[in-house]
Amino acid sequence: MISGYFVSGRHHSIEQRNEQRSNCHFDSSLPHVLIDTCCRYEVYSGTGRIPDDVARHLYRVAAGLESELLGAGLESELLGENAILGQVRKSYLEAAARFPLGSSLNRLFQGAIHTGKRVRSETGISSGAMSCGELTVELMKRSGFPFRRSTVAVIGVNALTSSILRFLRDEGAERFYLSNRHYDKAESAAREFGGTAVDFAGRKEILPKADACIVAARAPHYLVGPGDLPQDGHRILIFDLSVPRNVDPAVGSVKGVRLLDLEDIEKAAAENEKSREQAAVKAESIIEDELLKLRKWEEHSPQAA
């Protein structure tokens, strides 16, 4: 039987999400599909029958009805984010290249990906959607951040921070410090976005020079603490987009510092989703139709018994 283990941010704090990730124990040498993002951790494994709750959950994730950072984005904190369905697909393809997944897992994920695509094309849910990167920059705009005359530090170079850098550049930002555990990635990003690469060991030295700092390194510990920041009231806007947290929450009490995290991003996204609630009704109908097709496949597939 197919099993699923799900950890997401919709009903859990960042600390609770991290604890639940730590409590997930499975044999990684056996066939499985792992979806691992900053707000979601899901493991699908096994063979044979696909329980209704597992199938419905994944289909809703792919359609965005159950997700924070996945799918087409109906009730998700990141409503309609276009990049996320690609993460579901990427997780599936990586697993399929590594393991013989079996007919049930293959059919489950192929059906879910098809459902996510169908929801997008038939409901228009992606119209006006905002990704995590867009929402980060949107919150900066709401705070009156002066992009053109400010310096932005980025700790952790990855797909998320690269997207943020593109949006920042679109807003007129030009001065960037980029730090990453692997220095070559920081250098590559510096060439692409016109910033300055900084050795990971020297990441704290750029904080006094920055007007904003985006941290998304996904390290298992804090990378920035209260003692790393100027104590003279230097104004800096800090985003901790990591799970577990990479910025000590006590940083928010330092004079001049405004600290935002993924929960703030999710609140902003919840406002964004209200404008597309009507698409949810049609999406639910599409999901039911695709689940019916899955059940018919099971009826005629001996391997799914």
d(CA 43, CA 35): 7
Tokens (6 digits) for 245:
């947290």
Identify the pLDDT of residue 25.
67
Task: Give the burial class of 174: count Cβ atoms within 10 A of its Cβ; 0-12 exposed, 13-18 middle, 19 or more buried.
Answer: middle
Is the bond into 226 cis (omega within 30 degrees of 0)? no
Task: Give the burial class of 146: count Cβ atoms within 10 A of its Cβ; 0-12 exposed, 13-18 middle, 19 or more buried.
Answer: exposed
Domain borders along the chain are: 3-128+272-304, 132-263
Of residues 38, 39, 132, 213, which has the active-site annotation?
38
Report the DSSP pairing between strands 236-240 and 257-261: parallel
Identify the pLDDT of residue 256.
96
Identify the pLDDT of residue 66.
67
Catalytic residue flag (residue 213): no
| CATH number for the segment(s) 3-128+272-304 | 3.30.460.30
Q: What is the DSSP string of 277-299?
A: THHHHHHHHHHHHHHHHHHHHHH
- Please report which helix (H) or strand (E) contains residue 17, including its range: helix 14-22
Give the Cβ contact number of residue 181 at 10 Å: 17
pTM for this prediction: 0.61
Identify the pLDDT of residue 275.
58
Identify the pLDDT of residue 124.
73
Q: What is the DSSP string of 41-72?
A: EEEEE--S---HHHHHHHHHHHHTSS-SSSSS
d(CA 70, CA 88): 7
Is residue 305 very low, low, confident or very high in pLDDT (cuts 50, 70, 90)?
low
Q: What CATH class is the domain 132-263?
A: alpha beta
Please state the rounded mean pLDDT for residues 215-229: 94
Taking 70 as the threshold, does the pLDDT of residue 214 lie above it?
yes
Taking 60 as the threshold, does the pLDDT of residue 67 lie above it?
no
Is residue 73 very low, low, confident or very high in pLDDT (cuts 50, 70, 90)?
very low
Please state the rounded mean pLDDT for residues 203-214: 95
